[in-house]
Amino acid sequence: WVMPKRRRTTPTLKERLDVIIAQATDAGCKLASAAQLWDDGQSTEDFFDVLRPFVETLDPASMESELFMESAGKDDAQVLEEAHFLVRSGTIDAEEETAMKNAAPADRKRLLFLNLLLDAEEEDDEEGEEGEEGEEGEE
């Protein structure tokens, strides 16, 4: 007696993205989580091609949309230049820059977007905290 083969239960990239996008988190969290799905190296699809339809549903003036479109439009030389700038500004360390340099161009662009997004979210959080403190003092 031979047991029938079970279908692999590993969800596809699209299924995993659908779960992330359905979550009740902000667009930045969704994009950051989605970008990390490519870290396992199993996806051959272009991150920007796959996520463009989702980003197009966002406000074009939103930080997430602007960073996505800006990153998507960069060529490899611009991505490397930007990575070097991120090291100089203290946003990423030299180890992260080396990882980006060693990555394939498409992954390099995705990593740049992820770092820019996380940095912008961090700045946004810091500004929000400062703004709240200022409002309390005025009452």
| 82 part of a folded domain | yes
Is residue 31 one of the residues assigned to a domain?
A: yes
Q: What is the torsion angle, in degrees rounded to the nearest 10, for the CA atoms of residue 53, residue 54, residue 55 and residue 60?
A: 90
What pLDDT, on the 0 to 100 scale, is given for residue 9? 74
pLDDT at 36: 87
The answer to whether residue 2 is domain-embedded is no
Domain tally for the chain?
1
Q: Does a structural domain hold residue 3?
A: no
Please write the tens of the pLDDT for every residue from 42-75: 778 899 999 999 999 999 999 999 999 999 999 9
User: Is position 15 within any domain?
Assistant: no
Cβ–Cβ < 8 Å for 34, 20: yes
Q: Chunked in runs of 10, what are the mean pLDDT values of the chain (139 residues)?
A: 65 87 87 87 86 95 96 96 92 90 92 92 75 47
Helix (H, G, I), strand (E, B) or coil at 25: coil
pLDDT for position 48: 95
pTM score of the predicted model: 0.78
Determine the pLDDT at residue 51: 95
pLDDT value of position 134: 47
Domain, as residue range, for 102: 26-38+45-130
7: in domain: no
Is 21 among the domain residues?
Answer: no
Q: What is the pLDDT of residue 138?
A: 43
For residues 97 and 111, the answer to whether their CB atoms sit within 8 Å is no
13 inside domain: no
Q: At what angle do helices 47-55 and 27-36 cross, to 10 degrees?
A: 160
Predicted confidence at residue 39, as pLDDT, reads: 81
